[in-house]
Amino acid sequence: MITKANLEEAEKIYKEHMEYDFPDDENPDYERYIKLTKEKKHNIYLYEKDNENVAYFITLEADNNILITHLAVMREHRSKGIGRVFLEDIKKYFMDKNIIIVEVEAEVRAKNEEELNIIRRRKKYYVNGGFKECENLKYILYDVDYDILSYSTQQQKIYKNIEMKEIIEKIYSKVGIKESKLKIEIV
Question: For residue range 117-173, what is the model confidence (pLDDT) as tens digits?
Answer: 999 999 999 999 999 999 899 899 999 999 999 999 876 778 899 999 999 999 999
The string of pLDDT tens digits covering residues 18-64 is: 989 988 888 889 999 999 999 999 999 999 999 999 999 999 999 99
Residue pair 97/65 in contact by the 8 Å Cβ criterion: yes
Pairwise CA distance, residues 166 & 154, whole Å: 18
Question: Under 8 Å CB-to-CB from 156, ≥6 apart: which residues?
Answer: none
pLDDT score, position 119: 92
